[in-house]
Amino acid sequence: MAMFKFLHAADIHLDSALHGLERYEGAPVAEIRSATRRAFDNLIELAIEEEVAFLLLAGDLYDGDWKDYNTGLYFIGRMARLREAGIRVFVVAGNHDAASLITRHLRLPDNVRMFSTRHPERIILDDLNTAVHGQGFAHRSVTEDLSRGYPQGDPQRFNIGLLHTCLDGKPGHEPYAPCSVAGLRSKGYHYWALGHVHSREEVCREPWILFPGNIQGRHIREAGAKGCTLVAVENGVVARVEHRDLDVMRWSLCEVDVSGSATVDEIYQQVRETLQSAADAAAGRPVAARLVLRGATSAHAALHADRQHWVQEYRALASALGGAGIWLEKVSLSTSAGIGADQVILRDDALGGLLRAVNALELDASTADRLAAELSTLRHRLPAELLGGEDPFDPTDPALLKDALVDIKELLINRLLTSPRQT
């Protein structure tokens, strides 16, 4: 039996934009826009460096139809590099690059094989005594179990299944090409190379059923290391499976428990340490972070009394950390006033009742209309730069109204608690 290595990658989303950063001063716009290509370059270099026999791409190579031919030309150029290195490539179309979505076509190098979107195919690699099976998406919303049509594995060969699927359903992912672990195992394959789910998951090891995740995070919901899977095959069985990082910019959710901090200065130091840890963990990559402060603290009133000041303080702190750079995609001050407010709100007096009434305010239709009217008045006083661009101030936006109501409640409660009349 042949000994060889292959790479399994998925959800490339070439030329897909990264979301949430370009609006901020100092963000590396050019690096952000080219991130998916540079991560794909890393994949190509890894394939050549590891001298793999072939590369598997399990769907969503593109992010929908190309805006122009440059995306296709870029891909063909990288495939030509693999051809020069003697590396074959096997691709199935996913929901984002279904046959019905990609209207432009360029002839691929002869080392690249796109599986049919009409029926499953089996490709025999005689030199490796291996069979690769796959079928791509003919249209975006494939709701049937494509794996059922895959042929049974050849018991005399190493068998691979290449499939874009939600498996048995994954939160945050459309239920495309659903299937079951039992169904995949019944085919008698040694390795199932799956795509569609953007986080790495080893579903099963007997046989190997694996999502490698996408190669580059594109927003805060795709935080952490991103890359591909390197697989070594010896004597007809999987001998080694390794994750390899490919991402060039990393997203990080930085949550800080401020319940042990009494002052804004102590919280500032906690934020510094948390952001520095995120930068260190990225191993030299730029970091896009969401900062979330949680917990009950006596500094709560000071934070919320001048929310924008502290948001900008934390952004400035992130910018000053140095290294490859860290930028804050969003700052969320989700703190509470601490045990003092909890005790007062339970009191059977006028202040306790008033606090309970404020705390119980909800954003029903009537409240939303009144709040939207007030914010609309405020909108006319804002500078023009806040009223346009990617994230304009919109007083009818439900998310904005919800955040505004939270701030209003916090300000009212803080004012009531700190009023001299409280004593």
DSSP state of 133: E
* CA–CA separation, 106 and 123 (whole Å): 22
Contact between 289 and 327 (Cβ < 8 Å)? yes
Query: What is the distance between the alpha carbons of residues 68 and 48, in angstroms, rounded to a whole number?
Result: 28
Over residues 78-92, the pLDDT tens digits come to: 999 999 999 999 999
Q: How far is CA 412 from CA 282, 367, 368, 398, in A?
A: 40, 16, 18, 21
In the numeric block, which tokens belong to residue 140? 């975006």
Contact yes or no for 419/354 (Cβ under 8 A): no
Q: State the pLDDT at residue 367.
A: 67
Question: What pLDDT is stored for residue 188 in this prediction?
Answer: 96
SS (H, E, C) 188-240: CCCEEEEECCCCCEEEEECCEEEECCCCCCCCHHHCCCCEEEEEEEECCEEEE
Q: 194 is written with which tokens?
A: 């799956």
Sequence-ordered list of residues with C-beta below 8 angstroms from that of 134, at least 6 positions apart, any chain: 90, 92, 115, 120, 121, 123, 161, 162, 163
CA 164 – CA 61 distance, rounded (Å): 11
What is the phi/psi pair of residue 395, to 5°?
A: -70, -5
CATH class of 4-245: alpha beta
Secondary structure of 36-83 in HEC code, one letter for each residue:
HHHHHHHHHHHHHHHCCCEEEEECCCCCCCCCCCHHHHHHHHHHHHHH
User: Strand, helix or coil at 329?
Assistant: strand
Q: What's the confidence (pLDDT) of residue 391?
A: 44
**Ranges of the chain whose pLDDT falls below 50:** 385-386, 388-392, 420-423
According to DSSP, residue 247 is labeled -
SS3 327: strand
Relative orientation angle of helices 35-50 and 70-84, to the nearest 10 degrees? 10
Report which of 174, 196, 179, 244 is spatially closest to residue 61, judged by C-alpha positions: 196
Predicted pLDDT at 213: 96
Q: Report yes or no: 231 and 4 within 8 Å, Cβ to Cβ.
A: no
DSSP state of 93: -
**Do 138 and 118 meet the contact criterion of CB atoms below 8 Å apart?**
yes
pLDDT of amino acid 84: 97
Instruction: Give the separation between CA 194 and CA 201, rounded to whole angstroms.
Output: 10
Domains in the chain: boundaries: 4-245, 250-422
How high is the pLDDT of residue 336?
83
Three-class secondary structure of residue 402 per DSSP = helix
CB atoms within 10 A of CB 389: 10
pLDDT at 415: 58
What is the reported pLDDT for 103? 67
Peptide bond into 207 cis (omega under 30): yes
Instruction: Give the per-residue pLDDT at 422.
Output: 41
In this structure, is the dihedral angle defined by the CA atoms of residues 259, 260, 264 and 265, taken in order, positive or negative? Answer: negative
Task: State phi, psi for 204 to the nearest 5 degrees.
Answer: -160, 155
**For the whole model, what pTM was predicted?**
0.78
318, two tokens: 């992130």
